[in-house]
Structure 1
Amino acid sequence: MAAKPQKSSDAKASGSTSDIVRTLEHFDPPAPASFSKDEDVRAYKDMLLIRRFEEKAGQLYGMGFIGGFCHLYIGQEAVVVGMQMALKDGDQVVTGYRDHGHMLATGMEARGVMAELTGRRSGYSRGKGGSMHMFSKEKKFYGGHGIVGAQVSIGTGLAFANRYNGTDNVAVTYFGDGAANQGQVYESFNMASLWKLPVIYIIENNRYAMGTSVNRASAETNFAHRGISFKIPGIQVDGMDVRAVKAAGDLAVEHCRKGDGPIILEMMTYRYRGHSMSDPAKYRSRDEVQKMRSESDPIEQVKRRLLEDHQMSEDDLKEFDKAVREIVADSADFAQNDPEPDASELWTDIYADDVPQAAE
């Protein structure tokens, strides 16, 4: 059952009945979910697939097989995997340009994602979108968007469609701490709250907006509070613990499905690599990154539970890793041998084939 919203005054009335007392509505973070062995195995495999895929993508970028921009998700895997475990078929996902992990978590094929990264014909956008612009109607994944914060308006629109069509589907809208300062984010918050739209706004706070730390870029660094002015509750979540993410996701999904409107989940996470492949990340120390890896790595947390709580062996986990590496190696081989799109593709995917007609 979802926790009840708590209200606490952050201003005192001066005595006049016309005084406005601002209140902060929030949820206390739920306790981390208790995972069965099967759930921990699923989380481990799904996060490991993202980690190994991104490592291979970084390698191919360095070899010149991937052009343009490439933003890796290494370190943040628990966020998308935990959230996906809380969703059902029909729920939609939209995110920004650090998106490969989201694609894989929704079930998009590694071959198709890698083919798109390398600009090949079998990619999800037929080789024309690249790292930041691929989609899957079947998996309800609506991008991958290169414009900072633009996906927040799209996610809000998806939630409006859900309500308009009378479904109980939820639109999960991811963006980062940097995008959280964009104007269209707050326009979306206002609309979503006004119309009680079923949207979960997930702020992936990886501590840096490109090379700028949150403390230097944001006057309010508790992003779970960003919805206060719009009466949107928020939760700050340990985004390095897949169980904590799953528990918060369950609460948020129930909140939306009941018709209570939007909710914000601030995922406290960390990216191990630079902002993009061209970023040497000199704005932080190696010790800082290593400390996060050694103390909070999301995959290692699950690995310890599998070994200690579920009595699995190192050989069992090596088999998981071997199977994941085979999937990733296959996707890389497939992408490198897939043909590039024909020049005629320049003229496709420009206009919609079937445009709904307005009812008379």
Structure 2
Amino acid sequence: MAARWLRLQGDVGLVTAVLPPADHGIVGELPADWEPLLRGMWRIRHFEDEVRSLFLKGQLRGSTHLAQGQEAIPIGVCDVLRIGDTTTCTYRGHGEVLAMGAPLDRAFGELLGRAGGLCGGKGGSMHFADLSVGAIGSNAIVGGHLPMAVGAGLAAQHLGTGAVSVAFLGDGATNIGAFHESCNLAAVWRLPVVFVVENNHYGEYSPMAATTPIERLATRAASYGMPGFYVDGNDVTAVRETARKAVERARAGEGPTLIEADTYRQQGHSRSDPAAYRPPGELEAWLAHDPIVRLEQAALERELAGAEELASLRAAVLDDVRAARDRALSWPEPDLQARFEDLYA
């Protein structure tokens, strides 16, 4: 139904391509630790590419929601977190959980339904989580994880741990009632929560303009008396510095912050979506603003690395990812008795 609606609207010229802002670009010097940021983004990109391959081969059951093109956001944000901090995310959350430090093989194991998976192979793609690294995890319900993030922030405040709770959400979730309730309560109680909107411009098949009456989602922060920041979500250094300000503010007891990170998903909504609803030229324009390519180009232009060095880094990360995939493929499926475990806390 949504796809048909878009076609009808497109026929009368109401759907136009969403292009990256002309002023988006890496500004200033790269930080000394730019290479780990690049490695982290490649880790997520290669993981998602391998997941897509496994799905197309029929080795991975259930749907998957991939996030190629959005890697700078989880890497930039999670890089400023510390042990004890927590994150929640959407069903497009592989990158966020990996950015928190979840092991690659156990991540593959979860998607493949293996006993060694992050959740014993019983959660799958849309319930990705690793509590050992603070990744409370994904949620299949749009906006369903936002009250969980607020709860984690309340626990941190009550226990005096100094921990910060980060909630990653999509642009579509800002129209869900749980978004209003979560932002409002976090602001009223001055909870250490950071809301990070990964604005990839599409809520499933619908462009944001068809569902949301404003262009800048960060302006919604004013309704809750919290700061709202807009950032180029395809610039990992800009994301990290913006997140640093929000996290430091939360840790100091000054309350929540809303960050809108402008990005684009290069694949369809899910593996069954060819994304035929995108206007011509839109994908190509955003591919030119790929966060990984931009960081590599910046390193080359500043003569911080050569082309061969970057190629070697990419290959090394790919080898690690594929080795983790192969380990997970060798693991057994959960024992039938395991279906009765983890039912109650």
Same fold at TM > 0.5: yes
| Residue identity matched to 1:299 | I
2:297 is aligned with 1:304: yes
- Calculate percent identity across the aligned residue pairs: 36
CA RMSD of aligned residues (A): 1.4
What letter corresponds to residue 324 of structure 1 in structure 2?
A: V
- 2: distance between equivalents of 1:77 and 1:286? 24
Q: 1:82 pairs with 54, 68, 76, which one?
A: 76
TM-score (norm 1): 0.86
Identify the match of residue 342 of structure 1 among 327, 335, 338: 335
Q: Counterpart of 1:35?
A: 30
- Paired letter, 1:150: G
**Alignment partner of 1:226: what SS?**
helix
Residues paired across the two proteins, number: 320
Q: Residue 201 of structure 2 contacts residue 264 of structure 2 at CA under 8 Å; is this kept in 1? A: yes
Aligned to 2:158: 164
Q: CA 1:346–1:100 in 2, change beyond 3 Å: closer, same or farther?
A: same
Question: Does 1:314 pair with 2:307?
Answer: yes
Shift of 1:323: 1.0
Instruction: Report what 1:215 is aligned to.
Output: 209
Aligned match of 1:237 = 231
Structure 1 residues not aligned, in runs of 5+: 1-30, 353-360
The aligned counterpart of 1:91 is 85
2:172 maps to what in 1? Answer: 178
> How far apart are 1:286 and its partner, in Å?
5.0
User: Does 1:281 pair with 2:275?
Assistant: yes
Deviations 1:59-104 (CA, angstroms, capped at 9, x unpaired): 0000111111201110000001111122222111110100111111
Tell me how far 1:233 sits from its aligned partner.
Answer: 1.5
Partner residue in 1 for 2:111? 117
Task: Provide closer, same or farther for how the CA distance between residues 342 and 60 of structure 1 changes in structure 2, counting only shifts above 3 A.
Answer: same
- Separation in 2 of the partners of 1:311 and 1:222? 35
In structure 2, give the amino acid aligned to 1:155. Answer: A
Distance 1:271 1:93 in 2: 21
Hey, what does 1:327 align to over in structure 2?
Answer: 320
Q: Distance in 1 between matches of 2:189 and 2:65?
A: 34
- Alignment partner of 1:54 is 2:54: no
Q: Distance in 2 between matches of 1:314 and 1:290?
A: 23
1:249 partner letter:
A
User: CA separation in 2, counterparts of 1:192 and 1:288?
Assistant: 36
From 97, 101, 112, the counterpart of 1:103 = 97
Q: Using the alignment, how far apart are the partners of 1:312 and 1:267 within structure 2? A: 27
Looking at structure 2, the residues matched to 202 and 50 of structure 1 have their Cα atoms a distance apart, in angstroms, of 18
Aligned pairs (5 A) from 1:122-271: 122-271=116-265
C-alpha deviation, 1:301, in angstroms? 1.1
Distance (whole Å) between structure 2 residues aligned to residue 302 and residue 232 of structure 1: 31
Provide the secondary structure at the position in 2 that maps to 1:150.
coil
Aligned-partner Cα distance in 1 for 2:299–2:125: 33
Instruction: Work out whether residues 94 and 128 of structure 2, in 8 Å CA contact, stay in contact via their aligned partners in 1.
Output: no
For structure 2, the residue ranges without an aligned partner over 5 or more in a row are 1-25
**By how many angstroms is 1:150 displaced?**
0.6
Report the secondary structure of 1:187's partner residue: helix
SS in 1 for 2:181: helix
TM-score by length of 2: 0.90
Looking at CA atoms only, which structure, 1 or 2, has the larger radius of gyration?
1
* Pairwise CA distance, 1:245: 0.2
TM-superposition CA deviations, 1:189-217 (whole Å, max 9, x none): 11111100010001110000001000001
In structure 2, what residue type is equivalent to 1:52? Answer: H
